[in-house]
């Protein structure tokens, strides 16, 4: 996965956009929101995301469809970072925990679940 270069006022970043469909059970969707909230997320997971070089990560939800936007430095290597992330404290536990919402194997890594999107439009330079 190559990512996309994203311009910001202070330089360029790579941006990754990925999708995931979770269970359409209203209770499970509510729990998924709960465990991703600022008050209830696992601090070790947030720390691990930053430790592998991710600058910003956002997840958007519409019904049971999720969109994750990840901003990284331009020289970021997705595969290397995901391999490292999988070894960090509590990451495997977190992936197993959220698998019940995501309808996948408890031992599936993040990059095995989230599907990359292809950018097909942007406001091109004039």
For residue 100, tell me if it sits in a domain: yes
Give the whole-angstrom CA distance, residue 2 versus residue 5: 9
Q: How far is CA 81 from CA 51, 55, 66, 103, in A?
A: 9, 12, 21, 24
Beta partners for residue 60, in sequence order: 67
**Would residue 23 count as lying in a domain?**
yes
- Cβ 85 vs Cβ 48: under 8 Å: yes
Domain count, the chain: 1
Give tens-digit pLDDT for 27-36: 999 999 999 9
Residue 126: inside a domain, yes or no? no
Q: What tokens does 47 get? A: 């720390």
Q: Pick the residue with more confidence: 74 or 10?
A: 74
Tokens of 99: 């698998």
Q: Residue 57 domain-assigned?
A: yes
Q: How many CB atoms lie within 10 A of CB 65?
A: 12
- pLDDT for 123: 87
Least confident of 6-15, 36-45, 79-88, 108-117: 6-15
CATH number, domain with residue 63 = 3.30.70.100
- State pLDDT tens for residues 21-72: 999 999 999 999 999 999 999 999 999 999 999 999 999 999 999 999 999 9
């Amino acid at each position: 996965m190559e990512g996309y270069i994203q311009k910001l006022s202070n330089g360029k970043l790579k941006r990754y956009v990925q999708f995931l469909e979770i269970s359409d059970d209203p209770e499970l969707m509510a729990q998924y929101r709960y465990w991703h909230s600022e008050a209830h997320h696992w601090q070790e997971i947030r720390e691990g995301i930053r430790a592998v070089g991710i600058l910003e990560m956002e997840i958007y939800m519409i019904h049971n469809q999720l969109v994750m936007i990840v901003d990284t430095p331009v020289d970021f290597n997705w595969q290397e970072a995901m391999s490292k992330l999988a070894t960090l404290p509590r990451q495997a536990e977190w992936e197993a925990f959220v698998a019940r919402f995501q309808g996948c194997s408890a031992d599936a890594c993040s990059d095995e679940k989230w599907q990359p999107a292809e950018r097909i439009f942007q406001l091109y330079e004039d």
